[in-house]
Amino acid sequence: MIGLIRVFTAEDPNIIAEHGNIVSKLYGIPVISRCIPDQPKGIYDEETEAIAVPKIVELGKAMEQEGCKVLLISCAADPGLELLRRNVSIPVIGAGSAAALIALAAGERVGAMGITESIPPAVGRVLGELLVGYIQPEGVTNTTDLLTESGRTQALEAARSLVSQGSKAIVFACTGFSTIGFADVLRKELQVPVIDAVEAEGLFASSLYRWQSPESTDLLRD
């Protein structure tokens, strides 16, 4: 199974499972989701990331012990990615670099949008010269802001701004956009490709999982 780490704290199991459900539905693979403790607003700056990283590593180690074959850090900043990789023996995928790699493969000029003042390095490093611009929707400073009507309206305006700057595609530099199903909204409203970070991490995870799973290999042979 795939282990998916949510980098914010929630009590509702349906909320915790949202990203895992997206991955499982799209790619037909089993996903279990866990969240780190004591961070109800998640990661939104350097301080909250530093606090979260040790929790992510410990949770990832525990999920490997539970039997997970691939781990996902479902945050576009890829917090703790390299450290977790050094502490487990299974593949670890970060949502941000996964989304950026798909954009890189497409070869189009892209705009990125997220909830921080500057683009997450995990995304910006990969995109390089393909990046037209990065934008933070006005008034959106953490993932919970995206759950409001105002947050969604400002996010739509931000995406329109990226397209007006010459972006041929949009990359989500925050997985909170996945939570509100915003990719489909933009695809319909703006008629441009949208690379959703949760969909992207799931694509890579499903490939690795099927490569490792004897059951999947047998099915492919059939």
- Which residue, among 166, 42, 57, 174, has the nearest Cα to 118 in the 3D structure? 174
Question: Sheet of 194-195: strands edge to edge?
Answer: 131-135, 110-113, 169-172, 194-195
Q: Would you state the pLDDT for residue 213?
A: 65
Domains of the chain: 2-94+200-221 (3.40.50.1860), 97-197 (3.40.50.1860)
The whole-angstrom separation of Cα 157 and Cα 160 is: 5
Write the single-letter amino acid at 19.
H
**Average pLDDT along the chain, 222 residues, taken 10 residues at a time:** 95 94 95 96 88 98 97 96 97 96 91 92 93 94 82 93 95 92 93 95 94 54 38
Contact 98, 32 (CB under 8 A): no
Neighbours of 77 (CB within 10 A): 31
The whole-angstrom separation of Cα 71 and Cα 76 is: 14
Q: Would you state the pLDDT for residue 6?
A: 97
